[in-house]
Amino acid sequence: MANVRYDKQLTALLVIDPYNDFISEGGKVWPRIKAVAEANSCVSHMAQVLNTARKAGLRVFYALHHRYRAGDYETWKYIAPIQAAAWSHKTFENGTWGGEIRSEFAPQPGDIVALEHWCSSGFANTDLDLQLKKHGIHQLIVIGLIAHTCVEATVRWAAELGYQVTVVKDATASYSDKEMYAALEVNIPNYASAVVTTNEVVDAICSL
């Protein structure tokens, strides 16, 4: 593991988009990430990191994608392809099972749920940066979906804002091994101080 030292008072776990549509059988996007997610045990690793962080007393923050509501995007003059796809499939539809957080990852009292982001970065047009700063957080451990979109975009933005970031590479997934490689081996290492396994980050958290 990279030589990253965590300070309990400065470190938080950031959970990105643990929606049923992403990581549950029957979810709208699950068929696209199932092969990668099952190959690296993404869901169980996400749960392991989250449970370890809670036991260690680390703060937990959530960066959640906008949940589709009727009328979204219809009057927009410009729309990104990723937003057009969400509109087409009504991904994470508000009020539906797919738009709910998978039960193992439901926020607990004391957790901070940031405002929903409309594209990919958990920081863009939300209060995530404000909430982190108000709680004195400077180090982020990141898990969640999807590696080459929301995870990568959030990590890039976090680095721009001055956070030290660790990405847990087997607690995320993507549509293919190619996209996982591009995110975790090519792009994210330019912004994250460490890209580690679940076992490595669990050991680090337990040693706090």
CB-count exposure of residue 207 (10 Å: 0-12, 13-18, 19+): exposed
Inter-axis angle of helices 198-206 and 42-56, to 10 degrees?
Answer: 10
What tens-digit pLDDT sequence spans the chain (208 residues)? 567 789 999 999 999 999 999 999 999 999 999 999 999 999 999 999 999 999 999 999 999 999 999 999 999 999 999 999 999 999 999 999 999 999 999 999 999 999 999 999 999 999 999 999 999 999 999 999 999 999 999 999 999 999 999 999 999 999 999 999 999 999 999 999 999 999 999 999 999 9
CB-count exposure of residue 168 (10 Å: 0-12, 13-18, 19+): buried
What does DSSP say about strands 164-173 and 139-145: parallel, antiparallel, or unpaired? parallel
d(CA 123, CA 128): 6
Among candidate residues 116, 107, 187, 117, the one with its CA nearest the CA of residue 155: 187
Distances (CA, A) of 197 to 94, 143, 167, 194, 202: 33, 11, 8, 10, 9
Rounded to two decimals, what is the model's pTM? 0.97
* Four-CA torsion 85, 158, 24, 49, nearest 10 degrees: 170
d(CA 125, CA 183): 23
Which residues touch 3 (CB under 8 Å, ≥6 apart)? Answer: none
d(CA 7, CA 31): 38
